[in-house]
Chains A and B, each alone.
Chain A
Amino acid sequence: MGRGTAVAGCPVARRPASDRFQAMDVSFDVLVVGAGCAGMRAAIEAHDAGARVAVVSKLHPTRSHSGAAEGGINAALGNKAEDSPETHAFDTVKGSDYLGDQDAIEIFTREAPGDIYQLEGWGCVFSRNAEGKLDQRPFGAAGSPRTVYSADITGHVLIQVLYEQLQRRMSEGLVVFEEYFAFRLVEDGGRCTGVICWDLLHGGVKAVTGSATILATGGAGRLFRATTNAYACTGDGMAMALRAGLPLKDMEFMQFHPTTMYPSGILITEGCRGEGGYLLNKDGERFMKRYAPNALELASRDVVSRSETTEIEAGRGVNGSVMLDLRHLGPEKILNKLPGSRELAMTYAGVDPIFAPIPVRPGAHYHMGGVETDEWGLTPLEGLYAAGEVACVSVHGANRLGGNSLMETITFGRRAGRHAAEYALGRTAAANGRAETARADAEAWVDGLLAVEQGERPWQIRDELGQSMLENFGVFRYPDKMDRQVGIIDELRHRYGRGVVIEDKGTVFNSDLTQAIELGYLLDLAACMLQAGVVRKESRGAHSRPSDFPERDDENFMKHSITTWVDGAPQLSYREVRMTKWEPMVRSY
């Protein structure tokens, strides 16, 4: 103990002492909230464009959830087979079930290869072929092997490379506020001028201001009991934007991954099925032969998730799951080809897949919806940008293709960083008149939260939210279940609004407080998702209504849902999908 002092002679870039950073002391050109792939990429770009940049993150940057991405990152390099940005764009448009904005998708696929080579130039250790060129693997619904990867730790390698580039720039003045939990946007005269944060390590409400702010806070998988997402994925940026009056887009679209372990939702990679794993129901039947006779277990994610759910709902599941059976592959193949998955199953499901099948079910994996932005990441609020899973540009539409999300974080992170820097440098520093008022308001609000002495514990509401969302707004959306869920959300929001008790009144690392704030975010977002889901009377991509509207309805619903927050409730409108050259066709593979 007691070795907390910095080593003499080191470039000191540690988090600043709290007393130096009260409101007004810190103003930057560009402020990035969140430090996963999108946030770090945006910060690097803004710094390189000459801006004074700060990054605010509730986790240390390398702890961000981008690091858990395994499979890869899509760009039409054509290293393995002929490919083009145009083909990549078409695959993405079709995968989106024609809800993606085609102009944004064309930009995305055109710029992706350059972004990959830039990552390579930063030292990213991608897997390569025998000649030393970047290797590419085939992924679902892609017309060509297009997915660049780094073994099964692609996200980790990207996070590492981006953090190194960030560190280089930290030695040139870029500032990182680690373990700063941003919970409110500051708006001044129609511009976003910063964020209000809770300093996790030192306590206290702090304002960090900037001429431009980029939200890169990731997704909201924690809305569901079964999710592949980290505990940190609580939709912070979306909820902050919503409360500041900004529109969220396509909130009803949550992608479910078909093989997540019961009950936690921990991911078992598609590789298990790629190596020949079977999905069995309780009768031991390979049920996929009834749903996708050709592709079987390797049909696209949404198809497999729906098939599993059909089996479970028909009473052919085992305790709410189906079985992923690898036993026939034999110990040698499992030990050599799938050691990571075996270890996960043993640790988190108590099952050694050499001897027993793994119970799996669909779990919330990726949120296609988010803060509405243009192709530069700019939101309708001047000075506010969003990039990565928090944003909805939209390139994923109603359904994301594997490998497109990491690419989105890089390409749109870069674009948002560039545009935000140019905007910030082209104007005088943000007027900070509102920052201290906003900080004081937020502080009073936090004090109010901490003052509640009687009431429920936040985790009771959180548990009910996650369980009910999974039951009533999961893979299949039925009208009666959605109605029930609307009522449940209303009730939970009422109970939350009445006041929950934060028992920890301390200032240092008070996770009781931050969890309570995150719960408020999740409840608001759930209300938005439900409303958009109830009104979308069709089945498209991840939004599936088998009992009342089983077909896609382009005439009435080939449009984005737009949710704004009006008088404490979500309000829905629509916006046209931007098309360039691809007319909607039946989405079949």
Chain B
Amino acid sequence: MAVLERSRRQTNIETAGDAPATTVRLTIARSDAGAVREFRVALTQPAVVLDALLAGQRLDPSLGFRYSCRVAMCGTCAVRVNGRPTLACQQPITPDTDELLLEPLAGFAVVRDLVVDTSPFWNAWRRVVPWFMPGGPREALPAGDASRAEVERGLDCIACGACWSACDVVVTNAGYLGPAALNRALTLVADERDGARAERLRVAGQQGGVTHCHSILGCTAACPKGLDPSASIRRLRRWSLVA
């Protein structure tokens, strides 16, 4: 209940109006050496990092970053905030925040400012053969069944790349599939309707697969959807050993 007590104190009961502004100093990693790196933006509360970026873009329209849904559903706006990968649209800027360091996701080449080339992420994704192949029973995964829970656990991955940025292995091992692709593989392997379980486990178990994971849980700590890719990898590892 301590969490709830803190939340109660933070909830502004008279909140329907535009609350007073918070002024934040942003330091943004820019790809053009001559570009402005420091921004001072005023934000009405409640504010998230995306609000600060949009305010910054009005000061310098050349500031590059991706965004779209602004409700943590599309996975477009992942960046590092004070070193930690997160979604810009989901990361609150609390009233007592003075400064923030905004950087592009790690593990990717920078296209412009906070925009990165995510093709290594998607190439890894494709290597697990991410499409369903019918083979099992059609009427399956009943409500409340353990088989269903196994599939649903990793289903909400929005492929934002935060886990990739948080993974120490992908940075040093270019062949590693990474947490998101392996989580996707697990979701399909767990699906008893899928007919390619053996092949999927073979891919997951071979070079670049589950054995490379160092289990430091960076992916799990970073996931903005609260998924546990690290657990998916552990499960895949167990299944690929007995396969």
Residues of A within 8 A of B (CB): 1-7, 10-15, 59-60, 62-65, 67-68, 120-123, 125, 127-133, 135, 150-151, 153, 156-157, 160-161, 164-165, 167-168, 171, 201, 230-232, 262-264, 266-267, 318-319, 321, 323, 331, 344, 346-352, 354-356, 359, 457, 459, 502-504, 506, 508-512
Contacts and interface: CB of A to CB of B under 8 A. Distances in A.
Contact of B109 (A1, A150, A352, A511): A1
A264 B76 CA distance: 18
Q: Which of B74, B108, B148, B188 has the most CB of A within 10 A?
A: B74
Q: Which of A135, A510, A511 has the most CB of B within 10 A?
A: A511
A356 B58 CA distance: 33
A59 B119 contact: no
Contact of A132 (B75, B118, B141): B141
Interface stretch (B5-13, B212-220, B229-237): B5-13
B55 to A, nearest CB: 11
Say what secondary structure dominates the interface of chain A: loop
Interface of B: 4, 7-8, 10-13, 15-19, 45-46, 48, 57-58, 61-62, 64, 67-71, 73-76, 90, 92, 106-113, 115, 117-120, 122-124, 126-127, 130-132, 134, 137-144, 148, 151-152, 155-156, 158-159, 170-171, 174-175, 188, 191, 193-194, 208
Contacts of B141: 125, 128, 132
Contact of A3 (B11, B138, B174): B174
B15 A350 contact: yes
A135 B143 contact: yes
Given A62-B159, A352-B7, A123 B112 contact: no
Q: Which of B73, B140, B141 has the most CB of A within 10 A?
A: B73
Contact of B70 (A5, A133, A165, A266): A266
Nearest to A153: B156
Say what secondary structure dominates the interface of chain B: loop
Q: Which of A171, A323, A508 has the most CB of B within 10 A?
A: A508
Given A151-B152, A318-B16, A68 B69 contact: yes
A85 B118 CA distance: 43
A352 B8 contact: yes
Nearest to A231: B68
A331 B69 CA distance: 28
A356 B194 CA distance: 46
A255 to B, nearest CB: 18
B7 A346 contact: yes
B140 A132 contact: yes
A509 B112 contact: yes
Given A350-B19, A502-B61, 5 more contacts: A2-B109, A121-B134, A349-B15, A509-B115, A512-B62
